[in-house]
Structure 1
């Protein structure tokens, strides 16, 4: 825990002691005292957990609300697309794959754009029937993926056609825009808490 978390924990324990003292001073029955103490313990436990994991909770809320509302603070300014950093520290974007809205994580560390198998199938992505998988190294170990092609991917004002990608159900529910898309742009950069994507002078289409 950080110093601030330790201080808050001390205050929480102190408050719990005060509550316990008040309960005993009211001469309540033992059963009622135990129920009251357990109730307050649960309240303080939720407070401590919420405070300790506030960053993670905000990140989860940001992702869930983005999925539900389709909003992730992206804005088209002129010919550029500006994306505000999410609470989890990443940049998420709403793309359209073959007419189907899909939420992507922008990952400059990923060589190739990737989608989960179920999402790719729902968006009618052209998935290779080759029996030979692509072996990828991920944070969770090696993953067998299939080659595929997005016929039409729109991200803000930019459109890529026949974009090679990989698909696998083991990608953990995240669809990723990788460098094979970003490298086609005129430029992309991060300024403060915003990522700025600038389209090329010519079409992204291959």
Structure 2
């Protein structure tokens, strides 16, 4: 069970205890009306749980890696395409960005995959939507998306707070086909 699943389970347990306790306190000794109110509270609880799941993205469609090196990435709620890859053995969620020339790792993702952003040589610069930032060239040992594995992949670590990481054109060009089918981004080798 992941940390997010544990947090969600804890949230639901606390919510159930609070609502259940309030119901017992409120309904103690009220026989006939109690059944109607229990049903009402169950409906409210299920509605809140569904809204929380939707809000946290739990029911959003996920990428699929199919046979023959085909990856289907559904558009996210924010209108962007997000892909999760194993980078040096760790999950990294990328926003697919055709406007980025290469892979750009945020400092938190760089740390997660074993790079120390404080020990890198920031010798380059990049122009982003938030202005000019310093960049450090790195080589990613391994990127895996399902059965598709690439080794010694050049990338950059951004020397500013970047919320997440970007999967840019230098990596997208390694695919034979990059296309859109409705609300799907298709990558094929």
Unaligned runs of 5+ in 1: 1-59, 200-206
Q: Distance in 2 between matches of 1:115 and 1:122?
A: 10
Which of 52, 67, 78 in structure 2 is aligned with 1:78?
A: 67
Q: Which structure's relative contact order is higher, taking Cα pairs within 8 Å and 6+ residues apart?
A: 2
Q: CA RMSD in A?
A: 2.4
Separation in 2, partners of 1:72, 1:126: 33
- Report the equivalent of 2:178: 188
Q: Which residue of 2 aligns with 1:105?
A: 95
Whether the 8 Å CA contact 1:188–1:195 is kept in 2: the answer is: yes
Matched, 1:179 2:169: yes
SS at 1:65's partner residue?
A: coil
Q: Does 1:118 align with 2:108?
A: yes
Match of 2:84 among 90, 94, 97: 94
- Cα 1:196–1:171 change in 2 (3 A) is farther
Report what 1:154 is aligned to: 144
The residue that corresponds to 2:10 in the other structure is none
- Gapped runs of 5+ residues in structure 2? 1-53
Q: Cα 1:134–1:128, aligned 2, differ >3 Å: closer, same or farther?
A: farther
Contact 1:126 1:151 in 2 (8 A): no
Distance 1:65 1:169 in 2: 29
- What is the CA-CA distance between 1:172 and the residue it aligns to? 2.3
Matched residue, 1:65: 57
Does the residue aligned with 1:95 lie in a helix, a strand or coil? strand
Instruction: Count residues in correspondence.
Output: 135
Instruction: Assess if the C-alpha contact under 8 Å between 1:106 and 1:176 holds in 2.
Output: yes
Structure 1 CA distance for aligned equivalents of residues 144 and 116 of structure 2? 16
Larger radius of gyration: 1
Report the alpha carbon displacement of residue 156 of structure 1 after superposing the two structures with TM: 3.0
Change in CA separation of 1:113 and 1:171 when aligned onto 2, cut-off 3 Å: farther
The change in CA–CA distance for 1:130 and 1:101 in structure 2 (over 3 A counts) is closer
After TM superposition, which residue ranges in structure 1, 4 or more long, deviate above 6 angstroms?
A: none
Per-residue deviation, residues 5-36 of structure 1 (Å, max 9, x unmatched) = xxxxxxxxxxxxxxxxxxxxxxxxxxxxxxxx
